[in-house]
């Protein structure tokens, strides 16, 4: 008998799961039906800022695989079809065709929930005005690009100074706008400690981006034409011809919560190591709608990132298709850039470490990405956090230019292996003058952290 797999959501996690399951089982063993409520499948949402900024020319460059490619692999993909209800006991989902309005039921033996995340959009006056844009989907990106053409002035306000916020600040700058970033937090990039966020702030200043910290939006003021005119905060008003919302996302789990599937403290679905929804033998979930285990903190987190979604999909597809795979968790690695400034983090920030009861020492060092005498050597700041007593690495943050961001990968692997900073001092990292000083910046930070541990009467 043919087993029936239903996938809710046609982006990274869902379609990776479908594709991997199909690789392992042919259509006579396993039928696969996937529902996508939007117009696109398998696209890189992370690439939208670069398309808006003009680095990536065409929208379709961001699409890894279109509906026809999926269908050619015997995946029955239904576009513009929204799943409106999961009947767990009855093993079926109800769907709505968003074009025709028709509804119907589809039965499943195994279900994959990959409903993704939705942008946080605070319910403030004027939020729905013309010229106010999210950048979560390709449709959003297209709407923003069209809006830029219609904008009469060149003043852009970006709300939020996280990854999306700073990337969109760069994009708007590249489109010739005067850019103001309104940031609720103490410094931009709240995923870094404030002392490292300060470096990002300074660099953004240098790039001509105005960043206003501790600045929560209270309303959007519209002009007589109904289009956005200004963004209001408690203390000021920022004239705006276009507004980009980069406030972050939250797991899209309404469907799953409606039938009592378990969600965690951050609103994401909870799964076991095989990405199966806790308590449900035949339901898997992955991508931006789940919480993942933070291996350093020993707690779940919500992280919306394409690389995790792809891994989840791969693992779910293996397990659904009769293979085997597990997702052990994350260490919280993230990289980004604003123009030539690279920003990276992995592991815990100071406040994360405190929140889970860890005592620690921190050090911050300055180095360069190449030998100091090699042309193009640019400064790089590395902050390292290690546990008191054990000396175990807890986190690394890097802000700099020219090879700064991907250096965080060394720390990501060290965190995964639960290395101490003492062990890290003897890591055999690649050295040649065009690629690193003779002591790689990560090694310099590790050495200094060892000294700090010793001074703290530990290690």
Site of interaction with a second copy (CB under 8 A): 12, 44, 46-47, 50, 55-56, 61-62, 163, 305-308, 310-311, 314, 326-328, 330-337, 342, 344, 346, 371, 373-375, 403, 405-410, 412-414, 416-417, 419, 423, 425-436, 438-440, 447
Residue at token pair 């209270």: 218
Nearest to 244 by CA among 325, 171, 327, 335: 171
The residues annotated with a catalytic role in the active site are: 46
Please give the span between the terminal C-alpha atoms of the chain, in angstroms, as a whole number: 61
User: Which of residues 120 and 432 has its CB atom nearest to a second copy in the complex?
Assistant: 432
Angle, CA of 385, 251 and 283, to the nearest 5°: 110
Structure tokens at 170: 């760069």
Residue 415 CB, shortest distance to a second copy, in Å, is 8
Q: Compute the distance between CA of residue 238 and CA of residue 217 in angstroms, rounded to an integer.
A: 10
298 in Cβ contact with 31 (< 8 Å): no
Quick one: DSSP state of residue 270? P
User: Which of residues 229 and 347 has its CB atom nearest to a second copy in the complex?
Assistant: 347
Name the CA radius of gyration of the chain, rounded. 23
Residue 349 CB, shortest distance to a second copy, in Å, is 16
Structure tokens at 384: 């390292």
Residue 56 CB, shortest distance to a second copy, in Å, is 5
Residue 92 CB, shortest distance to a second copy, in Å, is 32
Residue 267 CB, shortest distance to a second copy, in Å, is 21
Structure tokens at 164: 């999306």
81 in Cβ contact with 97 (< 8 Å): yes
User: Which of residues 47 and 134 has its CB atom nearest to a second copy in the complex?
Assistant: 47
Residue 157 C-alpha from the chain's centroid:
21
User: Which of residues 237 and 307 has its CB atom nearest to a second copy in the complex?
Assistant: 307
User: Which of residues 310 and 368 has its CB atom nearest to a second copy in the complex?
Assistant: 310
311 in Cβ contact with 290 (< 8 Å): no
């Amino acid at each position: 008998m043919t087993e029936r797999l239903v996938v809710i959501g046609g982006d990274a996690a869902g379609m990776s799961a479908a594709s991997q399951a199909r690789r392992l089982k042919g259509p006579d063993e396993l039928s696969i039906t996937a529902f996508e409520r939007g117009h696109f499948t398998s696209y890189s949402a992370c690439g939208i800022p670069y398309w808006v900024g003009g680095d990536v020319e065409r929208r379709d460059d961001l699409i890894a695989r279109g509906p026809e490619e999926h269908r050619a692999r015997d995946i029955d993909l239904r576009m513009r079809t929204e799943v409106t209800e999961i009947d767990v006991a009855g093993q079926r989902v109800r769907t709505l065709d968003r074009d025709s309005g028709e509804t119907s039921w589809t039965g499943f033996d195994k279900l994959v929930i990959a409903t993704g995340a939705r942008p946080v959009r605070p319910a403030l006056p004027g939020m729905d005005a013309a010229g106010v844009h999210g950048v979560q989907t390709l449709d959003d990106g297209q709407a923003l690009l069209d809006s830029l053409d219609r904008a009469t002035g060149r003043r852009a306000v970006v709300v939020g100074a996280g990854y999306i916020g700073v990337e969109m600040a760069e994009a708007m700058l590249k489109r010739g706008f005067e850019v103001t970033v309104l940031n609720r937090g103490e410094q931009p990039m709240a995923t870094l400690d404030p002392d490292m966020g300060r470096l990002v702030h300074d660099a953004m200043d240098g790039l001509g981006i105005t960043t206003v910290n501790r600045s929560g939006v209270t309303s959007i003021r519209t002009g007589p034409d109904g289009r956005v005119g200004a963004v209001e905060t408690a203390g000021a008003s920022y004239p705006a011809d276009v507004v980009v919302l980069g406030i972050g996302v939250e797991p899209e789990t309404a469907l799953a919560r409606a039938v009592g599937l378990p969600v965690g403290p951050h609103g994401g679905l909870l799964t076991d190591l095989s990405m199966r929804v806790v308590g449900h033998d035949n339901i898997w979930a992955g991508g931006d709608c789940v919480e993942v285990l933070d291996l350093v903190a020993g707690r779940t987190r919500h992280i919306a990132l394409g690389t995790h979604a792809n891994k989840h999909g791969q693992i779910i597809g293996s397990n659904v298709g009769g293979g085997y795979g597990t997702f052990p968790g994350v260490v919280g690695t993230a990289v980004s850039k604003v123009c030539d400034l690279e920003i990276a983090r992995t592991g815990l920030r100071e406040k994360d470490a405190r929140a889970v009861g860890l005592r620690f020492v921190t050090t911050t060092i300055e180095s360069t990405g190449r030998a100091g005498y090699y042309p193009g050597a640019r400064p790089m700041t590395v902050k390292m956090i290690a546990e008191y007593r054990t000396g175990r690495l807890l986190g690394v943050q890097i802000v700099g230019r020219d090879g700064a961001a991907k250096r965080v990968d060394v720390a990501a692997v060290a965190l995964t292996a639960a290395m101490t900073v003492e062990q890290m001092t003897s890591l055999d990292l690649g050295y040649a003058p065009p690629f690193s000083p003779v002591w790689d910046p990560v090694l310099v930070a590790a050495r200094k952290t060892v000294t700090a541990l010793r001074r703290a009467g530990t290690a």
